[in-house]
Amino acid sequence: MAKYKVTIGMEVHVELGTESKMFCSCKNGMGLTKEPNQNICDVCTAQPGAIPVPNVKAIEYVMRAGLALNCKIANETKFDRKNYFYPDLPKGYQISQYDQPICGKGQLDFDYWDKDEQKQKSKIGITRIHLEEDTGKLMHTKSGTLVDFNRAGVPLMELVSEPDLTSSVEAKQFCTELRRLFRYLRISTADMEKGQMRCEANISLHKEGEDRLSGTKVELKNINSFKAIEKGIEYEIKRQTKALDDGEKLVQETRGWSDEKGKTFSQRIKENADDYRYFPEPDIMPLKFTNEEIERIKYSLPELPWERSARFVEQLGLTEQNAEILVDYKEMADYFEQICSELDDWIQNTEGEISEEQHQKLYKLAVNYLLTETQKQLFDQGSDIKDIKITPENFAELIKIIYQGEINSSIAQVVLKEMFEKGSDPSHVIDEKGLAQTNDEGELEKIAEKVIAENPDSVEDYNKGKENAIKFLMGQIMKATGGKANPQVAIEILKKKLN
């Protein structure tokens, strides 16, 4: 049993994908504008007399996130001034929220696989979700440090979890689930590598039997990848464990994470709320929302990722693993659903009954080709599913052809590659290249007899009970037919001839 128990709480900052900034009409470039200081005005650079006006869409986005996470939405909220000095904070304070956030208590439920590859269920409380403005960005050069205010004033949503997380793996999955949710809600692309989502972990250790909040909290600041979340927390747990074992007194502080060195480093002693001298923002009146307005936003929510994953498993018969992979890439899941719609149309127009099991077999066949061969082609070309030339209709036709046994899996890969490169329909590719599967039993019998005659050693091995020998003989038939032999028909003929 571990000597210490781990308590982790997460703070997640997300730049919202509104058209304009939080308190002005400047374009929201999500911090990606290459030329410095292009999207700025008197409000986001804090010129004297400039008055901030809240972005209604950003407020709605935060409500959407809160409702999806079962948070209590405030009927009345306000903005506050959070006072601190930093070179990229033009006003010398940040407009944020303190004691009346837009979203109160909520919860995120998810499954994850621990380090022992055991499936675990997680219920992580959400303390609050509030809205604030982002800071500018410092650019360090040989001659000095410059400030780019393009990002200053970009709407920034901050989600604070309860200290319910107990491992680095769980914390990583928590952040992964949140990013997936934000993308489904279309409130942010939340690309960590672009700074659109930044995570901070509050980590403390306590002995078995002690209060879980009794340890000294250390904040790991601005982690910029899921891998770094896991590695940074793991390192910090080991660092704190060693310090406690050595009798050292841990200090409540903020630490950074170095990917290059693979270790955390001290940045500053941790501030508390009093240090920020919060007080209500005098230029912005409190905001009030009726229950009807909140309900309207709630009913506008799309199908959430965990709901979609459950539907893929229950209705389409996919494995949990395949459903999770699909749902994680929303565009891929959308494309898959379009393929399923085309397959449904074909089934409805098919004479005779198709059982539910056969129906689901088509879906499984489609997802297998989508997540294996198609993904491979996308990776090799360095492209994305959004750029794919194959229409859902043509992809569904290929699945139908494979399902009906008109081509085997080897030929299907050849056809799919051609479709991927040219956007052709599968029937045209098969006809043009003469790839139709050979089902003629008379022709396959002649080939099987020839293969048997030319490979007496393999025949003898098969008769001695060596099953691998028949695989070799089958391979020779496929070679002789250019891979076009129907494998089911060919193997039956081969077994009949050998017995």
- What average pLDDT does range 425-431 have in this prediction? 86
Give the pLDDT score at 114: 87
- Co-location of 142 and 164 in the same domain: yes
Domain end among 253, 278, 298: 298
Evaluate if residue 110 carries a pLDDT over 90: yes
Task: Give, in degrees to the nearest 5, the angle at Cα 365 between 443 and 340.
Answer: 125
Same domain, 400 and 458: no
- The total number of structural domains that make up the chain: 3
234 and 114 both lie in a single domain:
yes
Give residue 358's pLDDT: 80
pTM: 0.86
Give pLDDT tens digits for 115-128.
888 889 999 999 99
- The reply to whether 93 and 152 lie within a common domain is yes
pLDDT at 31 over 60: no
Question: Mean pLDDT across the chain, nearest whole number?
Answer: 89
Same domain (yes/no): 179, 102: yes
| 350 and 276 within one domain | no
Between β-strands 253-258 and 218-223, what pairing exists: parallel, antiparallel or unpaired?
A: parallel
The H helix count followed by the E strand count for the chain is: 17, 15
User: Lowest mean pLDDT: which of 73-87, 88-102, 452-466?
Assistant: 452-466
How confident is the model at residue 484, as a pLDDT? 67
The pLDDT score that the predictor gives to residue 347 is 83
> By three-state DSSP, how is residue 71 classified?
coil
Confidence grade of residue 149 (pLDDT, cut at 50, 70, 90): very high
Residue-level pLDDT at 381: 85
Q: Residue 437: what pLDDT?
A: 64
Q: Does pLDDT of 398 surpass 90?
A: yes
Which amino acid belongs to residue 367?
V
Question: Are residues 126 and 209 located together in one domain of the fold?
Answer: yes
pLDDT-derived band at 157 (thresholds 50, 70, 90) equals very high
Please tell me which residue, 447 or 413, carries the higher pLDDT value. Answer: 413
* CATH code, domain carrying 479: 1.10.10.410
pLDDT-derived band at 435, boundaries 50, 70, 90: low
Token output for 152: 């200053």
**Boundary (domain end) residue, out of 245, 267, 298:** 298
Based on the domain organization, do 454 and 419 belong to the same domain? no
* Average pLDDT rounded to a whole number, residues 9-25: 97
Confidence of residue 29 (pLDDT cuts 50, 70, 90): confident
Together in a domain, 353 and 446: no
Could you tell me if 192 and 327 lie in one domain?
Answer: no
- Residues 413 and 459 grouped into a single domain: no
480 φ/ψ angles, rounded to the nearest 5 degrees:
-70, -30
* 8 Å CB contact between 162 and 127: yes
Domain of residue 476, residue span: 441-498
Where a domain ends, among 298, 325, 351?
298
Task: For residues 289 and 370, state if they share a domain.
Answer: no
